[in-house]
């Protein structure tokens, strides 16, 4: 009779499939393929016009996504970039870490600019950043000296460490005064020992945190919900859901240039875990590729330019951090990195941004791979000492030396510009979806409908 039951179950599954099920789903995802600041915010904002829901699934206010709407620049950190439309649902999902003070300030700031956060949802499972996380972040960085990562000092790493260590405080805990008091007391006791005795820095004050956070809790309560359930329901209902990556592939905790990484999983698989949606729901994965490379913070950067071309890119591209204001390190586009990202994220499309920043260059180099002891390198080296010995292999392409920022159709781009982006597609094996020639919504050239049919 067991067999009979199984046999009966099969037609039901088939029925569910042909019923539409997976086929009617329209989701898309925007992922950073390099070291962050590729222009994810701009691409999300562009695609969000077609979306009903925008979801952040990892990271915290270490992110800085600048979105320009009608020549007004908005710098978003925790809020999804869909918040700048007034008709989208915006979700800060389970895999994020939330600094209540920062998100509340962001909401206030947005409202003061005439926008609304009334459609915001915050996962009841997301983890809360507390003042001891910031203090530990700073103390750990200082103690590492020359080996410091150059974190944003927002407490991101220590907060994720507590989550993995199962002593973290979640949003639902913050919403429950009794639970919060208990968990906070435990953490403050331990953290103060570490702060004082290990790092020799000021401890934090339990009562002060309690008072502040209970107030934050009251102000956040209206946004808190089971976003896991909601997001899957939206997908099943046929709403268009757009996942907004923060940070980028080379900053991924497992797959990036460890330990010079962030503490979350910015790759596409991370969005499945972080938003609480199974991997089959994730479609139309767009890898954002800045037309050259930047890195803010320490760590390997094989195609870095420490010469005047690097200075040119920094000045022409205004490459200074949105969050910290730090000058970003600049270099040639590294397709060893982007090809690695293509595989790690199973990219469907490329969105190439900031092509206009290269307008003035007479020639442009692209790193198409590395060699080690004269042999081509397969995959991406794990050992940073090995990575340091790798030599980038460059191709030199002609520049276009024309202002392309006003161009709206692919075929109107100068031939050299088309050749440049087509070479990126060729080497990485990922088709072109979008080419961006400026920060504004309209400065976007679309080659493919990325949301698909
Ligand atoms: P994100 O963290 O990936 O969202 O990127 P950031 O916002 O930190 O940095 C990207 C910067 O480039 C922002 O200031 C954007 O407004 C800007 N931007 C995005 N796309 C383009 C583009 O195609 N051309 C130019 N000139 N700027 C762009
Ligand atoms: P968006 O979303 C660029 C970098 C930091 C540091 C490392 C670890 O704007 O692309 P953390 O504070 O996360 O522990 O710092 O990661 N980093 C970013 N670099 N863009 C970001 O976000 C980043 N978020 C973190 O500079 O090197
Ligand atoms: Mg950024």
Q: What is the separation of C-alpha 76 from the centre of its chain, rounded to a whole number of angstroms? A: 12
Give the β-pairing of 363-372 and 26-32. Answer: unpaired
Query: Residue 72 — left, alpha, or beta (φ > 0 → left; ψ -120 to 50 → alpha)?
Result: beta
Q: Name the residue among 131, 70, 145, 74 with its Cα closest to residue 100.
A: 131
Radius of gyration of the chain (CA): 23
Q: Quickly tell me which residue has 């979801």 as its tokens.
A: 55
pLDDT tens, per residue, the chain with 453 residues: 444 444 444 433 333 333 344 445 799 999 999 999 999 999 999 999 999 999 999 999 999 999 999 999 999 999 999 999 999 999 999 999 999 999 999 999 999 999 999 999 999 999 999 999 999 999 999 999 989 999 999 999 999 999 999 999 999 999 999 999 999 999 999 999 999 999 999 999 999 999 999 999 999 999 999 999 999 999 999 999 999 999 999 999 999 999 999 999 999 999 999 999 999 999 999 999 999 999 999 999 999 999 999 999 999 999 998 777 889 999 999 999 999 999 999 999 999 999 999 999 999 999 999 999 999 999 999 999 999 999 999 999 999 999 999 999 999 999 999 999 999 999 999 999 999 999 999 999 999 888 864
Q: Is 44 helix (H, G, I), strand (E, B) or coil?
A: helix
Distance, in Å, from the CA atom of 104 to the CA atom of 174, rounded to the nearest integer, reads: 15
pTM of the complete model: 0.94
List phi, psi (to 5°) of 97.
-120, 130
Model pLDDT, residue 409: 97
Q: Is the CB of 151 under 6 A from ligand 2?
A: yes
Measured CA distances, 232 to 55, 235, 237, 278 (Å): 11, 5, 9, 9
Q: Is the CB of 248 under 6 A from ligand 1?
A: no
Helix (H) or strand (E) holding 225: strand 224-225
Token code pair at residue 359: 């307008």
Ligand 2, atom 11, lies closest to the CA of: 151
- Between the CA of 64 and the centroid of ligand 1 the distance, in Å, is 10
Q: Name the residue among 285, 323, 351, 269 with its Cα closest to residue 60.
A: 323
Token code pair at residue 85: 């439309």
Is 65 a known active-site residue? yes
Q: What is the separation of C-alpha 259 from the centre of its chain, rounded to a whole number of angstroms? A: 18
Distance, in Å, from the CA atom of 205 to the CA atom of 211, rounded to the nearest integer, reads: 10
Distance, in Å, from the CA atom of 106 to the CA atom of 165, rounded to the nearest integer, reads: 29
Is 359 a known active-site residue? no
Q: What is the separation of C-alpha 367 from the centre of its chain, rounded to a whole number of angstroms? A: 23
Classify the C-alpha dihedral 408-411-417-423 as positive or negative: positive
Q: Name the residue among 86, 149, 74 with its Cα closest to residue 110.
A: 74
Q: Is the CB of 64 under 6 A from ligand 1?
A: yes
Model pLDDT, residue 17: 39
Model pLDDT, residue 3: 45
């Amino acid at each position: 009779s067991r067999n009979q039951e199984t046999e009966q179950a099969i037609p039901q599954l088939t029925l569910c499939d042909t019923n539409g099920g997976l086929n009617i789903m329209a989701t898309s995802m925007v992922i950073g393929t390099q070291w962050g600041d590729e222009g994810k915010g701009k691409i999300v904002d562009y695609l969000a016009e077609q979306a009903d829901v925008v979801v952040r699934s990892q990271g915290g206010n270490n992110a800085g996504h600048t979105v320009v709407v009608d020549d007004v620049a908005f710098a978003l950190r925790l809020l999804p970039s869909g918040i700048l439309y007034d008709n989208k649902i915006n979700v800060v999902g389970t895999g994020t870490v939330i600094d209540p003070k920062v998100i509340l300030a962001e909401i206030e700031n947005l409202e003061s600019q005439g926008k609304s956060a009334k459609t915001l949802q915050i996962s009841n499972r997301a983890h809360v950043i507390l003042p001891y996380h910031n203090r530990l972040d700073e103390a750990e960085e200082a103690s590492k000296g020359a080996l410091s990562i150059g974190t944003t000092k927002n407490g991101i790493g220590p907060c994720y460490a507590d989550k993995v260590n199962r002593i973290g405080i979640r949003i639902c805990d913050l919403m429950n005064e009794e639970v919060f008091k208990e968990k906070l007391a435990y953490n403050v006791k331990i953290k103060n020992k570490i702060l004082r005795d290990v790092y020799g820095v000021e401890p934090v004050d339990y009562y002060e945190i309690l008072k502040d956070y209970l107030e934050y809790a009251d102000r956040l309560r209206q946004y808190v919900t089971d976003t896991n359930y909601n997001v899957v329901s939206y997908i099943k209902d046929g709403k268009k859901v757009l996942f907004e990556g923060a940070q980028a592939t080379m900053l991924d905790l497992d797959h990036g240039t460890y330990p010079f990484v962030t503490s979350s999983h910015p790759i596409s698989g991370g969005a499945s875990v972080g938003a609480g949606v199974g991997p089959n729901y994730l479609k139309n994965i767009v890898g954002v590729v800045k037309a050259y490379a930047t890195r803010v913070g320490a760590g390997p950067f094989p195609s870095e330019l420490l010469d005047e071309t690097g200075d040119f890119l920094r000045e022409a591209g205004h490459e200074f951090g949105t969050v910290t204001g730090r000058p970003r390190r600049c270099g040639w586009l590294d397709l060893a990195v982007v090809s690695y990202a293509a595989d790690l994220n199973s990219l469907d499309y490329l969105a190439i941004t900031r092509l206009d920043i290269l307008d003035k260059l007479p020639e442009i180099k692209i790193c198409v791979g590395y060699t080690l002891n004269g042999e081509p390198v397969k995959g991406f080296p794990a050992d940073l000492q090995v990575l340091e010995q790798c030599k980038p292999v460059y191709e030199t392409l002609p520049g276009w030396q024309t202002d392309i920022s006003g161009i709206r159709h692919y075929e109107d781009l100068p031939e050299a510009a088309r050749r440049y982006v087509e070479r990126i597609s060729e080497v990485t094996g990922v088709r072109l979806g979008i080419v961006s020639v400026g920060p504004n919504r309209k400065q976007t050239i679309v080659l493919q409908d990325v949301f698909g049919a």
